[in-house]
A and B are shown apart, each in its own frame.
Chain A
Amino acid sequence: MSDQIKVDKVLDTSGKCCPMPMVETNKTLKKLAGGDVLQIIATDPGTQVDIPSWCERTGNQLLASNEQENLFTYYVKKA
Protein backbone atom coordinates (compact mmCIF):
# COMPACT_ATOMS: atom_id res chain seq x y z
CA MET A 1 0.00 0.00 0.00
CA SER A 2 2.77 2.44 0.90
CA ASP A 3 4.16 2.03 -2.63
CA GLN A 4 1.12 3.90 -3.92
CA ILE A 5 1.48 6.88 -1.59
CA LYS A 6 2.80 10.08 -3.13
CA VAL A 7 5.33 11.51 -0.71
CA ASP A 8 6.00 15.25 -0.57
CA LYS A 9 8.82 15.20 1.98
CA VAL A 10 11.03 12.57 3.59
CA LEU A 11 12.32 12.93 7.15
CA ASP A 12 15.00 10.44 8.14
CA THR A 13 15.52 10.28 11.90
CA SER A 14 17.51 7.06 11.82
CA GLY A 15 19.78 6.71 14.84
CA LYS A 16 18.05 9.44 16.79
CA CYS A 17 16.02 8.80 19.93
CA CYS A 18 13.22 10.47 21.81
CA PRO A 19 12.57 13.38 21.81
CA MET A 20 14.21 14.09 18.45
CA PRO A 21 12.02 12.04 16.06
CA MET A 22 8.90 13.80 17.35
CA VAL A 23 10.57 17.21 17.60
CA GLU A 24 11.82 16.93 14.02
CA THR A 25 8.48 15.58 12.81
CA ASN A 26 6.67 18.57 14.31
CA LYS A 27 9.22 21.02 12.91
CA THR A 28 9.10 19.48 9.43
CA LEU A 29 5.33 19.23 9.29
CA LYS A 30 4.96 22.91 10.13
CA LYS A 31 6.70 23.73 6.85
CA LEU A 32 4.34 21.58 4.78
CA ALA A 33 0.93 22.50 3.41
CA GLY A 34 -2.33 20.84 4.38
CA GLY A 35 -2.74 17.58 2.47
CA ASP A 36 0.99 17.09 1.98
CA VAL A 37 2.38 13.69 2.90
CA LEU A 38 5.44 13.32 5.11
CA GLN A 39 7.36 10.06 5.12
CA ILE A 40 9.11 9.55 8.44
CA ILE A 41 11.89 7.00 8.81
CA ALA A 42 12.89 6.06 12.34
CA THR A 43 14.86 3.52 14.31
CA ASP A 44 13.54 4.56 17.73
CA PRO A 45 10.97 1.87 18.69
CA GLY A 46 9.17 4.48 20.77
CA THR A 47 7.84 5.98 17.56
CA GLN A 48 5.57 2.95 17.18
CA VAL A 49 3.31 4.42 19.83
CA ASP A 50 4.39 8.06 19.67
CA ILE A 51 3.47 8.66 16.04
CA PRO A 52 0.02 7.01 15.97
CA SER A 53 -1.02 8.76 19.20
CA TRP A 54 0.38 12.07 17.94
CA CYS A 55 -1.68 11.68 14.76
CA GLU A 56 -4.87 11.05 16.75
CA ARG A 57 -4.17 14.05 18.95
CA THR A 58 -3.27 16.48 16.19
CA GLY A 59 -5.67 15.42 13.45
CA ASN A 60 -2.89 14.47 11.07
CA GLN A 61 -3.64 11.23 9.27
CA LEU A 62 -1.45 8.17 9.51
CA LEU A 63 -1.88 6.72 6.04
CA ALA A 64 0.36 3.70 6.51
CA SER A 65 3.27 2.38 8.50
CA ASN A 66 5.61 -0.54 8.27
CA GLU A 67 8.59 -2.10 9.97
CA GLN A 68 11.47 -3.84 8.30
CA GLU A 69 14.46 -5.03 10.29
CA ASN A 70 13.96 -2.45 13.06
CA LEU A 71 13.48 0.36 10.58
CA PHE A 72 10.11 2.02 11.04
CA THR A 73 8.46 3.99 8.25
CA TYR A 74 5.38 6.16 8.61
CA TYR A 75 3.34 8.09 6.06
CA VAL A 76 1.53 11.05 7.57
CA LYS A 77 -0.87 13.32 5.72
CA LYS A 78 -0.93 16.82 7.19
CA ALA A 79 -4.38 17.96 8.37
Chain B
Amino acid sequence: MKKLAIVIRDDEYDKILTPLAFAYLEASEGAEVEILFVNWAVRALTEEGAKQLKVGGNHADKDAWVRERVTNAGLPNDINTLLKAIKEVGNVRFYACSLAANIFEVGEDNLIPEAEGIVGASWFLNEHMVSADHHQYF
Protein backbone atom coordinates (compact mmCIF):
# COMPACT_ATOMS: atom_id res chain seq x y z
CA MET B 1 0.00 0.00 0.00
CA LYS B 2 1.36 3.39 -0.97
CA LYS B 3 -1.25 5.63 0.58
CA LEU B 4 -3.79 5.16 3.35
CA ALA B 5 -6.44 7.76 4.16
CA ILE B 6 -8.32 7.59 7.46
CA VAL B 7 -11.22 9.59 8.88
CA ILE B 8 -11.52 9.40 12.66
CA ARG B 9 -14.77 10.44 14.33
CA ASP B 10 -14.97 8.40 17.53
CA ASP B 11 -13.02 9.96 20.36
CA GLU B 12 -13.36 7.35 23.05
CA TYR B 13 -9.90 6.25 24.13
CA ASP B 14 -10.31 2.59 23.23
CA LYS B 15 -11.96 3.36 19.89
CA ILE B 16 -9.31 5.77 18.72
CA LEU B 17 -6.57 3.21 19.38
CA THR B 18 -7.50 1.05 16.39
CA PRO B 19 -7.09 3.64 13.62
CA LEU B 20 -3.91 4.91 15.25
CA ALA B 21 -2.51 1.38 15.45
CA PHE B 22 -3.31 0.85 11.76
CA ALA B 23 -1.66 4.17 10.92
CA TYR B 24 1.40 3.19 12.94
CA LEU B 25 1.67 -0.12 11.09
CA GLU B 26 1.33 1.28 7.59
CA ALA B 27 3.58 4.26 8.25
CA SER B 28 6.29 1.98 9.60
CA GLU B 29 6.10 0.04 6.35
CA GLY B 30 6.62 3.21 4.34
CA ALA B 31 3.08 4.12 3.32
CA GLU B 32 1.88 7.71 3.27
CA VAL B 33 -0.84 8.02 5.89
CA GLU B 34 -3.28 10.94 5.90
CA ILE B 35 -5.70 11.25 8.80
CA LEU B 36 -8.62 13.67 9.11
CA PHE B 37 -9.97 14.11 12.63
CA VAL B 38 -13.65 15.04 12.57
CA ASN B 39 -16.41 15.63 15.13
CA TRP B 40 -15.30 15.20 18.77
CA ALA B 41 -12.14 13.38 17.68
CA VAL B 42 -10.67 16.70 16.54
CA ARG B 43 -9.94 17.42 20.20
CA ALA B 44 -7.41 14.59 20.19
CA LEU B 45 -5.20 16.99 18.25
CA THR B 46 -4.90 19.25 21.29
CA GLU B 47 -2.90 18.40 24.41
CA GLU B 48 -5.84 19.02 26.70
CA GLY B 49 -8.29 17.15 24.48
CA ALA B 50 -6.02 14.13 24.23
CA LYS B 51 -5.74 14.00 28.01
CA GLN B 52 -9.51 13.97 28.34
CA LEU B 53 -10.05 10.92 26.14
CA LYS B 54 -11.53 8.08 28.16
CA VAL B 55 -12.86 4.62 27.61
CA GLY B 56 -16.58 5.11 27.16
CA GLY B 57 -19.92 3.39 26.99
CA ASN B 58 -20.36 0.01 28.59
CA HIS B 59 -16.66 -0.19 29.40
CA ALA B 60 -16.21 3.22 31.00
CA ASP B 61 -15.16 1.70 34.31
CA LYS B 62 -12.26 -0.12 32.63
CA ASP B 63 -10.18 2.92 31.63
CA ALA B 64 -7.23 2.23 33.94
CA TRP B 65 -7.28 -1.47 33.09
CA VAL B 66 -7.24 -0.77 29.33
CA ARG B 67 -4.33 1.68 29.70
CA GLU B 68 -2.34 -0.86 31.66
CA ARG B 69 -2.97 -3.47 28.96
CA VAL B 70 -1.95 -0.98 26.26
CA THR B 71 1.31 -0.33 28.09
CA ASN B 72 1.94 -4.05 28.36
CA ALA B 73 1.38 -4.36 24.61
CA GLY B 74 4.25 -1.91 24.07
CA LEU B 75 2.30 1.18 23.09
CA PRO B 76 2.28 4.56 24.85
CA ASN B 77 -0.91 4.62 26.91
CA ASP B 78 -1.76 8.26 26.32
CA ILE B 79 -2.92 9.49 22.95
CA ASN B 80 -0.66 12.53 22.74
CA THR B 81 2.47 10.41 23.16
CA LEU B 82 1.11 7.86 20.70
CA LEU B 83 0.52 10.58 18.09
CA LYS B 84 4.11 11.76 18.56
CA ALA B 85 5.42 8.20 18.15
CA ILE B 86 3.41 7.66 14.97
CA LYS B 87 4.55 10.99 13.56
CA GLU B 88 8.19 10.09 14.15
CA VAL B 89 7.88 6.97 11.99
CA GLY B 90 7.57 8.86 8.75
CA ASN B 91 5.00 9.98 6.25
CA VAL B 92 2.03 10.57 8.54
CA ARG B 93 -0.04 13.71 8.52
CA PHE B 94 -2.78 14.66 10.99
CA TYR B 95 -5.43 17.19 9.94
CA ALA B 96 -8.19 18.87 11.91
CA CYS B 97 -11.51 19.21 10.06
CA SER B 98 -12.43 22.89 9.94
CA LEU B 99 -16.09 22.30 10.82
CA ALA B 100 -15.15 20.13 13.79
CA ALA B 101 -12.49 22.60 14.86
CA ASN B 102 -15.06 25.39 14.84
CA ILE B 103 -17.69 23.46 16.78
CA PHE B 104 -15.39 21.86 19.32
CA GLU B 105 -13.15 24.88 19.90
CA VAL B 106 -9.90 23.78 18.35
CA GLY B 107 -7.74 26.47 16.81
CA GLU B 108 -4.28 26.82 15.31
CA ASP B 109 -3.19 28.12 18.71
CA ASN B 110 -3.98 24.92 20.61
CA LEU B 111 -3.23 22.30 17.96
CA ILE B 112 -0.33 20.01 18.83
CA PRO B 113 2.79 20.64 16.72
CA GLU B 114 2.44 17.21 15.14
CA ALA B 115 -0.78 18.34 13.40
CA GLU B 116 -0.53 19.83 9.93
CA GLY B 117 -3.34 22.30 10.56
CA ILE B 118 -7.03 22.94 10.07
CA VAL B 119 -8.35 21.95 6.67
CA GLY B 120 -11.62 21.82 4.79
CA ALA B 121 -13.22 18.44 4.27
CA SER B 122 -13.54 19.12 0.55
CA TRP B 123 -9.78 19.44 0.23
CA PHE B 124 -9.14 16.27 2.21
CA LEU B 125 -11.73 14.24 0.34
CA ASN B 126 -10.46 15.31 -3.06
CA GLU B 127 -6.74 15.49 -2.41
CA HIS B 128 -6.31 12.46 -0.19
CA MET B 129 -9.31 10.14 -0.19
CA VAL B 130 -9.48 10.04 -3.99
CA SER B 131 -5.80 9.26 -4.43
CA ALA B 132 -5.46 6.78 -1.56
CA ASP B 133 -5.15 3.06 -2.14
CA HIS B 134 -7.37 2.41 0.84
CA HIS B 135 -9.81 4.38 3.00
CA GLN B 136 -10.89 3.74 6.54
CA TYR B 137 -13.57 5.36 8.69
CA PHE B 138 -13.64 5.09 12.45
Contact of A22 among B25, B30, B73 (CB under 8 A): B25
Q: Which residues of A contact B74 (CB under 8 A)?
A: 13, 15-17, 20, 24
Q: How many residues of A contact B (CB 8 A)?
A: 14
CB pair B28–A22 under 8 Å, yes or no, is yes
Bound CA span A34–B89, Å? 20
Query: Is B95's CB within 8 Å of the partner chain A?
Result: no
Query: Is A27's CB within 8 Å of the partner chain B?
Result: yes
Query: Is A18's CB within 8 Å of the partner chain B?
Result: yes
For B1, give the chain A residue with the smallest CB separation: A57
Bound CA span A27–B75, Å? 15
CB pair A54–B21 under 8 Å, yes or no, is no
Query: Is A58's CB within 8 Å of the partner chain B?
Result: yes
Contact of B75 among A20, A26, A54, A58 (CB under 8 A): A20
Q: Which residues of A contact B29 (CB under 8 A)?
A: 22, 26, 54, 58
Bound CA span A17–B74, Å? 7
Q: Which residues of A contact B (CB under 8 A)?
A: 13, 15-20, 22-24, 26-27, 54, 58
Q: Which residues of B contact A (CB under 8 A)?
A: 21-22, 24-25, 28-30, 72-75, 89
Can you name 17 A-B pairs with beta carbons within 8 Å? A13-B74, A15-B74, A17-B73, A17-B74, A18-B21, A18-B25, A18-B73, A19-B22, A19-B28, A19-B75, A20-B73, A20-B75, A23-B25, A23-B28, A26-B30, A27-B28, A27-B89
